[in-house]
């Protein structure tokens, strides 16, 4: 299997004329998950020609504006576009009141159902389960209640071993049941065990989003071995004190977490505007962990079992 992450914004704090703050679109098993929703996120989604009506789940990490100020605009646009499907929003408890206060001020009664799921900033828990994906919230360390998220593919069906299927002469119509785990009985009444006809399912892939957070080693087990970890790297080593004061991470912190969690690849972002580019972040995190991508606005990261690639769109 494979998943795809589109970074709509990788800046922190305030947007600039060309840069957006935090928002990402994850496509996993044909499902679209929006993670954080900065001001302008809906314009970024349109720019990338995303069919926004396919987004049914939006995850908000915390209530700092650079992570959610675009949410009410998207909710409102769905209403004006006469969305009818329910929309699930996962975020801090106070988000619900913020949304309701704004809908009330415009006397808007939404055309669709908005289902709000309050996240718990105190423990890791399963917060969403779709047909093919599990989503967990993970407590992070920040000035206000903040959670990261982990998206994990569900274990899929076993794969047909086509060599064995052909050898045993299994007719096409009976293959689906075998893929689901059934043994097979041939014309002579001989039973062929399922594991002779199938191969194990692909390993489920996983993506974790950790932003914003100070160095958070106590939750490393919750993101162990993920294929891709997005970890904020607001600062470089020179601003270590500032990182501690503001409960953010340096690029080194991100590298240390990636190493401890033994992830496949680390993706950085949420850079302070004081840096013209993330070259130093990349170098400093690589002192601790080798496979690092410096995330940027409009970067698409594609992950499958064998490769992790990125392009700038």
CB 75, min distance to a second copy, A: 9
CA 38, 42, 47, 49 torsion-angle sign: positive
Is 46 a binder of a second copy (CB under 8 A)? yes
Task: Answer yes or no: 202 catalytic.
Answer: no
The per-residue b/e assignment along 58-93, b for 16 or more CB within 10 angstroms, e otherwise, is bbbbbbbebbbbbbbbbbbebbeeebeeebbbbbbe
Is 73 a binder of a second copy (CB under 8 A)? yes
Q: CA 284, CA 236: separation in Å to the nearest integer?
A: 7
Closer CB to a second copy, residue 69 or residue 215? 69
Is 245 a binder of a second copy (CB under 8 A)? no
The per-residue b/e assignment along 199-229, b for 16 or more CB within 10 angstroms, e otherwise, is eeebebbbbbbbbbbbbbeebbebbeebbbb
Is 70 a binder of a second copy (CB under 8 A)? yes
List the one residue out of 259, 257, 297 whose CA is nearest residue 277.
297
**Of 62-70, 147-155, 197-205, 291-299: span binding a second copy (CB under 8 A):** 62-70
Q: Which of 1, 2, 72, 242 binds a second copy (CB under 8 A)?
A: 72
CB 212, min distance to a second copy, A: 12
Active site residues: 66
Q: Which residues bind a second copy (CB under 8 A)?
A: 13-17, 39-40, 42-43, 46-47, 63-65, 69-70, 72-73, 76-77, 80-81, 92, 94-95, 97-98, 101-102, 104-107, 143-144
């Amino acid at each position: 299997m494979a998943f795809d992450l589109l970074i709509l914004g990788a800046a922190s704090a305030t947007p600039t004329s060309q840069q957006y703050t935090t928002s990402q679109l994850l496509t996993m098993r044909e499902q679209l998950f929006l993670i954080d929703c900065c001001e302008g996120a809906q314009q970024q989604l349109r720019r990338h020609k995303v069919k926004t009506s396919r987004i049914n789940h939006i995850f908000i990490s915390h209530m700092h504006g650079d992570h959610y100020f675009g949410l009410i605009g998207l909710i409102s646009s769905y209403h004006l576009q006469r969305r009818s499907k329910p929309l699930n929003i996962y975020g801090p408890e106070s988000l619900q009141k913020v949304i309701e206060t704004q809908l009330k001020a415009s006397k808007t009664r939404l055309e669709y159902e908005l289902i709000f799921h309050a996240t718990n900033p105190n423990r890791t828990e399963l917060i969403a389960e779709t047909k093919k994906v599990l989503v967990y919230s993970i407590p992070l360390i920040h000035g206000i209640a903040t959670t990261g998220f982990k998206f994990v593919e569900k274990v899929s069906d076993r794969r047909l071993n086509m060599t064995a299927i052909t050898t045993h002469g299994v007719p096409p119509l009976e293959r689906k049941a075998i893929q689901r785990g059934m043994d097979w009985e041939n014309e002579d009444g001989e039973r062929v065990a399922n594991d002779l006809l199938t191969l194990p399912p692909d390993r489920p892939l996983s993506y974790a989003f950790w932003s914003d957070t100070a160095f958070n080693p106590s939750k490393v087990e919750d993101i162990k071995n993920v294929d891709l970890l997005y970890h904020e790297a607001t600062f470089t080593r020179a601003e270590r004190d500032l990182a501690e004061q503001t409960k953010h991470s340096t690029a080194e912190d991100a590298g240390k977490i990636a190493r401890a969690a033994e992830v496949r690849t680390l993706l950085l972002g949420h850079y302070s505007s004081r840096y013209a580019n993330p070259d130093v972040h990349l170098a400093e995190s690589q002192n601790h962990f080798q496979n690092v991508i410096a995330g940027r606005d409009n970067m698409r990261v594609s992950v499958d079992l064998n490769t992790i690639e990125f392009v700038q769109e």
